[in-house]
Amino acid sequence: MKDFTVEYFTMTEQDAIEYAKAIKLFPEEAELTCKEIGDGNLNYVFKIVDVKNNQSIIIKQAGPVARISDEFKLSPDRNRIESEILGLQYKLAPGFVPEVYNYDPIMNCTVMDDLSDHEIMRTALIKHKKFSLFADHISTFLVNTLLLTSDVVVEHKEKKELVKQFINPELCEISEDLVYTEPFYDCPRNEVFEGSKEFVKENIWNDKKLVLESAKLKFEFMTNAQSLLHGDLHTGSIFIKEDSTKVIDPEFAFYGPAGYDIGNVIANLIFAYANGKFTIENEETQDDYLNYLVTTIKDVVNLFTDKFNKAWDEKATERVASYEGFKEYYLDTILRDTAAVAGLELLRRIIGLAKVKDLTTIEDREARIRAEKICLTAGKTFILNRDSIKTGADFINVIQSAELTSVKGA
Ligand code: SR1
Ligand code: MG
């Protein structure tokens, strides 16, 4: 049997079984099988099943380079960050994250709940499934993890300790590059769909005002240690079933602007919207699905606002938090950042190298170009007009105006 206590190595499926036995995750008589099921950009995910007792767990291991490309050399310490933030979020937002059973700083792996009875939300949305509780669930998760880790609620020295604990320079650098920098010029690492390239050149790279705004936002991302973020809250980081939502993969966690997580959720619902619009042929089914997404996007914003206001009134400990007008000012800045980040995410998933299946699986070339144009147009508006986008209805207006522009321009 291999020794897992000396130095790190990247595990095979067989190693993962031996590892599970070595750390005694299952009873002696267990009959274990293992399958590597990771489909993300960075890590290895082993599902271990005890077929005798019908029990299963997940072992997630961080390697020294990203799966998506050897070019990204990453400290496996991200696995510590992930296990620690999952522990914290488990307390702040009970029911919305998997339980962690073990973290191993030598093998850089975390053992957690197997959520195989759930489905990755992006995959489910591409199949046009609807989840009526999602907006309620995710808005609670967002308020609890963002407001309750901020200086509004946490004692300031304790909060600064948390900032230290979750300093995450390498993964932040990925977001600084892929979200805030590379999409705004003809970077060799970009991978623009050939049919969208002219549009991107004209409307994004050549728009000096937009490029300037991206610079301002990049510096806010790097310097505003407001809340402990998930840091990569797209629909591929969410496991879902009808009555349950579980947020996974918080390895990009760090203290940053609260709107970053909310904006990512919104943008990825918009990708699902674009997919539905261009892949559902039956008009009635399409209307029904798009209406579901419109309602969900509106609800995410409006429920976040309502729950944020309530939690602030009940949980704020900072003295100045009660000054008249301060809560409204603070929430306004979060909503402004939400709009901006929704815009950035919409642009970077089309222009940059980390794509979303919602768009790449649209087979018809013209339909994909139209879907991308709508997302790019909406993205640009979210960034440029971020100061005046505040309500669920404002977010929907941006999407619907982008659709109209694409029809006129088509
Ligand atoms: C090199 S990692 C590319 C992207 O995958 C992750 O999920 C993040 O979104 C990152 O930007
Ligand atoms: Mg991930």
Q: How far apart are CA 291 and CA 297, in angstroms?
A: 10
Helix (H) or strand (E) holding 55: strand 55-61
For residue 260 and ligand 1, the question of a CB distance below 6 A is answered with no
Contact 290, 140 (CB under 8 A): no
**CA–centroid distance, residue 89 to ligand 2 (Å):** 16
- Per-residue model confidence (pLDDT) at position 409: 59
Q: State the helix-helix crossing angle for 392-409 and 283-315, rounded to 10 degrees.
A: 150
Q: How far apart are CA 254 and CA 252, in angstroms?
A: 7
CA dihedral of residues 220, 223, 225, 228 (deg, nearest 10): 70
Q: Is the pLDDT of residue 103 over 70?
A: yes
Residue nearest to atom 6 of ligand 1 (CA): 41
Ion ligand 2 residue ranges (Cβ < 5 Å): 40, 249
- Per-residue model confidence (pLDDT) at position 252: 97
Q: How far apart are CA 281 and CA 19, in angstroms?
A: 48
Residue nearest to atom 11 of ligand 1 (CA): 175
Q: Binning pLDDT at 50, 70 and 90, where does residue 69 land?
A: confident
Predicted confidence (pLDDT) per residue in 178-189, tens digit: 999 999 999 999
For residue 65 and ligand 1, the question of a CB distance below 6 A is answered with no
- Per-residue model confidence (pLDDT) at position 291: 98
- Which amino acid, residue 325? G
The string of DSSP letters for 203-227 reads IIIT-HHHHHHHHHHHHHHHH---E
Predicted confidence (pLDDT) per residue in 220-263, tens digit: 999 999 999 999 999 999 999 999 999 999 999 999 999 999 99
- Which amino acid, residue 57? I
Contact 107, 19 (CB under 8 A): yes
- Per-residue model confidence (pLDDT) at position 40: 80
Q: Is the pLDDT of residue 410 over 60?
A: no
Which of 39, 176, 232, 346 to probe ligand 1 with, by most ligand atoms within 8 A of CB? 232
Whether this prediction's pTM lies above 0.95 is answered by yes
Residue 112 β-bridge partners: 58, 100
For the chain, the average pLDDT equals: 97
For residue 72 and ligand 1, the question of a CB distance below 6 A is answered with yes
For residue 181 and ligand 1, the question of a CB distance below 6 A is answered with no
Predicted confidence (pLDDT) per residue in 266-325, tens digit: 999 999 999 999 999 999 999 999 999 999 999 999 999 999 999 999 999 999 999 999
- Per-residue model confidence (pLDDT) at position 41: 82
Ligand nearest to the CA of 237: 2
**CA–centroid distance, residue 178 to ligand 1 (Å):** 8
For residue 178 and ligand 1, the question of a CB distance below 6 A is answered with yes
**CA–centroid distance, residue 53 to ligand 2 (Å):** 30
Q: Is 35 exposed, middle or buried (0-12, 13-18, 19+ CB in 10 A)?
A: exposed
